[in-house]
Amino acid sequence: MEPFILHTRVLMQFSLAPQAEAAGYSLLAFDSIGSTNSEALDRARQGTPGPLWVVSPHQRSGRGRRGRAWEGPAGNLAASLLLDVTCDPSVAATLGFVAGLAVEQALRISLPALEHGSRLRLKWPNDVLLDGAKLVGILLESEMMMGGRRIVVVGIGINVVAYPENAPYRATSLAASGAHLSAPSLFETLSATWLACHAQWRNGDGLPEIRRQWLTRAAGVGEAVAINTGSEIIRGTFETIDDAGQLIVRQADGSLKTITAGDVHFGAAATAKDPS
């Protein structure tokens, strides 16, 4: 199927990297949208095949993990990728690690100054940090369509020009750090780095290599950590992630605890009585 590119009243021109277009990826770009994830899901329900990127520099009603709102002021990047998958849902969930690596690589390529030191870090399960503050949020949503078709939408929100100042965690933007980059330019690079990282993933068969790369870029390995699972707070040392991408914590008694989901806190927040 030939890739299509539809720009709907776009003020900022988006385009796919040539290699992504050649690989059959398609693009829907909007100057403003409620939620790129919702649009991608709606397209899937209408029978639109993946891989399809839905992008916008202005997301009015985005959502993050656990139903939280994700603010997307004009000039930021909201990008959601619709994929058809044939693997088990647990394996498809590891696409969040693929997305984290792809975003981190796209940022380093676009802004070479970020290569120095450890300014960019990946935070379990699906965040990218800049100088210890949240720059990128990633949200995966999966659904079974009619006829047994399973799809995954990989939603990526990047604070290019602005960040939420009332967030319950430290946040930042590229602009606040002194980096100036347009959302379309960053997206084009991301469409290329995603292609490379997804090729390594190989429907889950390449997960050991994805895990290895992710851990070399991970925030907090070997440090004190507190995880709020919603029902309890688990404390210990961030040991590693396992082959399924689950967080492994070494508790005070030396035992290992496997975490499947939760809000992770490092540093002072890890030892606070009630990390939020």
Question: Given a cut of 50, is residue 82 above it in pLDDT?
Answer: yes
Q: Are residues 267 and 140 in the same domain?
A: no
Q: How many domains in the chain?
A: 2
Residue 63 binned pLDDT confidence (cut-offs 50, 70, 90): low
Is residue 94 within 8 A of residue 210, CB to CB? The reply is yes
Q: Are residues 127 and 152 in the same domain?
A: yes
- How many other CB atoms are found less than 10 A from the CB of residue 231? 6
Using CB atoms within 10 A of its CB, is residue 268 exposed (0-12), middle (13-18) or buried (19+)?
exposed
Task: Tell me whether residue 276 is in a domain.
Answer: no
Predicted local distance difference test score (pLDDT) of residue 67: 52
For residues 191 and 276, which has the higher predicted lDDT (pLDDT)? 191
Task: Tell me whether residue 162 is in a domain.
Answer: yes
Q: What is the CATH number of the domain that holds 256?
A: 2.30.30.100
For residues 258 and 114, which has the higher predicted lDDT (pLDDT)? 258
C-alpha dist (Å) from residue 103 to 149, 171, 249, 272: 27, 17, 26, 31
- As beta bridge partners, residue 263 has 228
Residue 4 binned pLDDT confidence (cut-offs 50, 70, 90): very low
Q: Are residues 18 and 97 in the same domain?
A: yes
For residues 38 and 268, which has the higher predicted lDDT (pLDDT)? 38
User: What is the domain extent for residue 244?
Assistant: 224-271
Average the pLDDT over each of 41-55, 65-79, 127-141, 239-253 and give the range with the smallest value: 65-79
Residue-wise pLDDT for 101-141, tens only, equals: 999 999 999 999 887 768 999 999 999 999 999 999 999 99
Predicted local distance difference test score (pLDDT) of residue 51: 98
Task: Tell me whether residue 17 is in a domain.
Answer: yes
For residue 196, report the phi and psi dihedrals to the nearest 5 degrees: -70, -45
Residue-wise pLDDT for 197-246, tens only, equals: 999 999 999 999 999 999 999 999 999 999 999 899 999 999 999 999 99
Task: Tell me whether residue 60 is in a domain.
Answer: yes
Q: What is the CATH number of the domain that holds 187?
A: 3.30.930.10
